[in-house]
Structure 1
Amino acid sequence: MTHGLTITESSDSTVSASPASMAVIGLIATSMAGAGDVAADIDAAFPLDTPVLVTSVDIAAGKAGSLGTLKKALEAIGDQSSPIVVVVRVEEGADQAETDANVIGTTTATGQKTGMQALLAAKALLGVAPRILGAPGLDTQAVTTELAIVARNLRGMAYARAIGDTVAAAVTYRDNFSARELMLFWPDTNDWTGDAVARVLGLRARIDEEIGWHKTISNVAMDGVLAITKDVHFDLLDSSTDAGVLNDAPVTTFVRTDGYRPWGNRTTAGDDQPDFAFESAVRTSFALQDLIATTIQPFVDKPMTVGMIKNLLEKMNAAGRALVSAGKVVGCKFLFDRSKNTSAMLAAGRPNFTFRYTPCAPMENPTIDLQITDYYYSDFADQLV
């Protein structure tokens, strides 16, 4: 018989797990051997239609062939940050249609996913899920349309170029899309088609790591930009400029003010999704979905008692309070609504919860009333005494 104090440890913590990383890039690119390259080495490092985990973009760029988009995209990403990247290398086709088909990919009869569809297998194969998606230099309208769908399935965002030689053409091109998981950018940067989107991917990952997914990509300096490929008139005090017209479309542009930086907060969400007009709102929703899944998973299939539900509510609300304290949401609350939970539903093991939250909106358009007044002359004479 034991006489004394026995202490045991349990994992019944009220602090929930953190959301999964939102800073993993999914990059679709082409790569071929040029002068001095060995094709077999490229094939070994980046097998076609296979998700490859890259933990050092600099080392990976050295293994990529000098032809195609992969090397240049990795270098542009590396100028911004050193993120985890899932690379899917695709074969360049004999014409644009064939290249588009290779980039978009499919699921073969044996179940293998090719092209951008291979990003959907990254979690199972590599242990990470890409959430920042792009195909710099390969993002035609057909590719971008499909990329937005893959982004939705991964609870991520797609970043692509708005195709057009003029502001008007870029605005017209934007009308082809109505996905909240997509942001369009115009014009390009530096000397190759796709440079801007590649830099945006790296910048988005850097913002996630340094600030968080609640900060939009707008008005953050982007490294390695020497010039933009089209003139964009910008004036912070005048919305009728090129930048203002593009943002109203909405298309995100690039402005030169203390360096080059993206300018624009909005996705291509249609008028039927006004709550998800801001990039930050979409990515907050996805981050919260991750958090909910991570926190609730240990409770699934446990005996449903009053104590268990109270414990779950406290865990979720503790996680919510941490997000509010960190400034990642304005407010949130995890609720068990009596009216939505009948005895029959509970007996069937189907409780209903509500997670109510307010994402952080960017201060996109502050209004300042500039008033002229003689008030400050009211004690003028007294100050001369």
Structure 2
Amino acid sequence: MDLHGVRTQETDNQTKAITTVNMSVIGLVGTAPDALTGTAATVTVGSTILDNALVFTAAEVGAGGNQLQVLAVSAILDTETPVAIPSSAAYADERLTITLGIDDAGTVTATASDVVAAVAAVATSGITAALYSGITGAGVVDPFGATKLASGADEPFPLYTPAIISGSRSKAKQLGYSGTLYADMVDILAQIGALVIVIRVDENDDEEQQRANIIQGIEAMALAQGTLNYQPRILIAPEWSTDDGVGKALESTANQLRAITYLDMPSMATGEDAARRAQMYGARVEILRPRIMVTDDVTGKINARPYSAAAAGHRMRIDNAFGYWWSKSNKEVYGFSGLEQVDSFVTGDETCVANQLNQANVSTIIMLDSYRHWGNRLCSSDPQWRFEAVRRTADAIEDSIQVMVTKNYVDRPIDKAFSTSLVGSVNSYMRQQTKAGVINGGRCWLDPDLNTAETLAAGKVYLNVAFGPKSPAEEIIITYSIDNTYTVQALGLSAAA
């Protein structure tokens, strides 16, 4: 429509800020049969002295019960044909309405026991009623207004559902001490107060069923982003990841989530066993050779524990102290007093067991003034992509750009403003990451060969991104030579003419 005047329009062609995704999130799967259960909402009305105290409880456990209400009203006497009316109850729209029975004079005669019976007779009710402990229920109930139930709480760790522990030992204790999850959390928190996505699964004595339960829990990690807004980046299932069925499920989920998974070796496994197993996996898997000796904080016993939980916590501590682009190798690991098996380590010796394991893409722990993680490599033959630090740097950059582009550029009209803003946004992010020390440099550009008239008309835009990740200095070669002129100079002599 034409306008006689000034029309106001707004444009949005500026570059967009890119926020780096959170790489420091652990995904943990295990069992905890004694985990804290949820609480049903309740409310108590009446008096024990008057023998009419009633407890109303939500039929379902959880915080949702706190929205329920209960009220009691007196039945209304028909004055033309006055007759006694019995107690009754009805449930609708999250409210339980109790109609208290009366006699033919209109006086309330409903006892607490009558009310319990009336509520029990409701075919479908979200609220149950019971006598308060220790009373007979013979007392008459007085009418009361709408009263909300309270103190309902959701189960903190529902089965096969992502739940979060944000570095809290008290929250970890809600898992209970049996099963595997509490001990795993102790190992993680011994390193740092990490953010952990916990998935609890059923405990089963049948080995095959237990494996199936663990795999189902691993698959549930994909739900964490949608339910908790956190995506696990280090995936572990200590006590179970020695099994290759579980290991392959972890690897598959790691590929799906752009994550890394740490797999444990069985107790007393040989270095040859570890090296052979590493050949079965790919570039998102790190094989961990050692088992660590940990003092149980419940029993006081020293047990040989899988290393993956401590390694995941160690990875989070390095992320926090240095950055996710730093290797966790050659850094002190906390929380244990020894190793089940010691791998020989001699500085500069290619033939020592620790270095042989590293060459086979297996990580271990060495003693060098303190216990240190020793190993940079994932199970990849590529000379650069085998480094965990490189893989995680790429994951962070790729995910961060993908999220920003999805939110700001997908479905926008393809024009000059679109391309300028898109390329400018990514290049700005590359400069930020370079300045922060994450990468050595990077840039992006529109692909001149693939962005043809036909592809652009079809709504397809091809963007190229190149960056230089920082490989860890895994091997430093030092060349020594003897120069005897320093001896001559030390004696104050000059070279002969």
Query: Does the aligned pair in 1 maintain the 2:165–2:172 contact within 8 Å?
Result: no
Match of 2:276, SS state, is helix
Partner of 1:4: none
From 403, 420, 423, give the equivalent of 1:294: 403
Partner of 1:116: 218
The separation in 2 between residues aligned to 1:60 and 1:366, in whole angstroms, is 44
Counterpart in the other structure of 2:274: 170
Relative to 1, partners in 2 of residues 1:345 and 1:39: Cα closer, same or farther, differing over 3 Å? closer
3-state SS of paired residue (1:261): strand
SS of 1:254's equivalent in the other structure is strand
Q: Find the partner of 2:389 among 270, 280, 286.
A: 280
CA distance in 1, matches of 2:10, 2:368: 56
The equivalent residue for 1:143 is 246
Contact 2:384–2:471, Cα closer than 8 Å, also in 1: no
> Aligned pair 1:155/2:258, yes or no?
yes
Q: Residue 266 in 1 paired to residue 377 in 2?
A: yes
Aligned partner of 2:183 in structure 1 is 72
Q: What is the identity, as a one-letter code, of the residue corresponding to 2:20? A: P
State the superposition RMSD in angstroms.
2.3
The answer for unaligned runs of 5 or more in structure 1 is 1-7, 106-114
**TM alignment of 1:305-320, pairs within 5 A:** 305-320=415-430
Give the SS at the match of 1:333: strand
Structure ranking higher in strand proportion: 2
* Residues in 2 aligned to 1:127 and 1:216: alpha-carbon distance in whole angstroms: 26
Match of 2:23 in 1: 22
The SS at the match of 1:117 is helix
Separation in structure 1 between the aligned mates of residue 472 and residue 36 of structure 2, nearest angstrom:
48
How far did 1:365 drift?
0.5
Instruction: Output aligned runs, 1:86-101, within 5 Å.
Output: 86-101=197-212
SS in 2 for 1:80: coil
Per-residue CA deviations over 1:120-154 (Å, capped at 9, x if unaligned) read 01111111111111011111221111101101101
In structure 2, which of residues 454, 461, 465 is the aligned counterpart of residue 355 of structure 1?
A: 465
Between the aligned partners of 2:311 and 2:233, the Cα distance in structure 1 is: 13
Report what 2:150 is aligned to.
none
Residue aligned with 1:158, SS? strand
| 2:317 counterpart of 1:206 | yes
In 2, Cα distance between the equivalents of 1:344 and 1:174?
45
Shift, 1:257, TM fit? 1.5
Query: Does the C-alpha gap of structure 1 residues 352 and 23 become closer, same or farther in structure 2, counting only changes over 3 Å?
Result: same
SS state at 2:293 partner: coil
CA shift, 1:329, in A, is: 1.2
Contact 1:335 1:354 in 2 (8 A): yes
Q: Indicate how the Cα distance of structure 1 residues 349 and 10 shifts in structure 2: closer, same or farther if over 3 A, else same.
A: closer
User: What is the distance in 2 between the residues matched to 1:9 and 1:261?
Assistant: 57
Structure 1 residues 10 and 343: alpha-carbon distance in aligned structure 2, compared to 1, 3 A threshold: closer
Checking the alignment, whether the CA contact within 8 Å between 2:14 and 2:421 is kept in structure 1 is no
Distance 1:19 1:39, change over 3 A: closer
AA paired with 1:282? R
Q: Is contact 1:32–1:39 with CA below 8 Å preserved after alignment?
A: no
Number of corresponding residues: 362
- Aligned with 2:351 (options 229, 235, 240): 240
One-letter identity of the residue aligned with 2:311: V
CA distance 1:40–1:292, change in 2 (3 Å):
closer
1:302 aligned partner, one-letter code: R
Residue aligned with 1:190, SS: strand
Contact (CA 8 Å) 1:26, 1:87: kept in 2 or not?
yes
Give the match's secondary structure for 2:222.
Answer: helix
Q: Tell me how far apart the structure 1 counterparts of residues 27 and 405 of structure 2 sit (CA, whole Å).
A: 27
- From the CA coordinates, give the structure whose radius of gyration is larger: 2
| Cα separation, partners in 2 of 1:247 and 1:377, compared to 1, 3 Å | same
SS in 2 for 1:32: coil
Q: If each structure's helix is expressed as a fraction of its own residues, which one has the higher value?
A: 1
- Cα deviation, 1:171-216, whole Å, max 9, x if unaligned, reads 2222222x11110111110144544111111111122222222112
In the alignment, the residues of structure 1 paired with residue 435 and residue 471 of structure 2 have an alpha-carbon distance, to the nearest angstrom, of 16
Aligned residue number for residue 52 of structure 1: 163
After TM superposition, give the deviation of residue 232 of structure 1 in Å: 1.2
Q: Tell whether the 8 Å contact from 1:132 to 1:205 is kept in structure 2 after alignment.
A: no
TM-score when scaled to structure 1? 0.88
Shift of 1:16: 2.2
TM-aligned CA deviation for residue 248 of structure 1 = 0.9
1:350 and 1:40 mapped to 2: Cα distance? 49
SS in 2 for 1:143: helix
**Aligned position for 2:103:** none
- Quote the offset at 1:168 in angstroms: 2.1
For the 8 Å contact 1:162–1:251, the answer to whether it is kept is: no
Distance in 1 of aligned mates of 2:439 and 2:324: 10
Corresponding position of 1:180: 283
Change in Cα spacing, 1:301 to 1:11, as seen in structure 2 (3 Å) is: closer
Query: Structure 1 residues 10 and 205 mapped into 2: Cα distance closer, same or farther (>3 Å)?
Result: farther
Contact 2:16 2:421 in 1 (8 A): no
Note the residue ranges of structure 2 that are not aligned, 5 or more in a row.
1-8, 40-153, 295-302
- The secondary structure found in structure 2 opposite 1:253 is strand
Task: Answer whether contact 1:19 1:294 (CA < 8 A) is retained.
Answer: no
The 8 Å contact of residues 283 and 378 in structure 2, kept in 1 or not, is answered as: yes
Q: With structure 2 as the length reference, what TM-score do the two structures score?
A: 0.69
Retained in 2: the 8 A contact 1:218–1:263?
Answer: yes
Change (3 A) 1:11 1:136: farther
The 3 A distance-change label for structure 1 pair 262 and 12 is farther
Check conservation: 2:161, 2:200, Cα contact below 8 A: yes
Could you say what secondary structure the match of 1:365 adopts? coil
Tell me the distance in 2 between the aligned counterparts of 1:20 and 1:276.
20
For residues 404 and 215 of structure 2, what CA distance do their matches in structure 1 show? 34
How far apart in 2 are the matches of 1:383 and 1:303? 81
SS at match of 2:366: strand
In structure 2, the partner of 1:340 is: 450
Bigger Cα displacement from structure 2, 186-195 vs 307-316? 186-195
CA distance in 2, matches of 1:252, 1:380: 47
Q: State whether residues 136 and 193 of structure 1, in contact with CA within 8 Å, keep that contact through their aligned partners in structure 2.
A: no
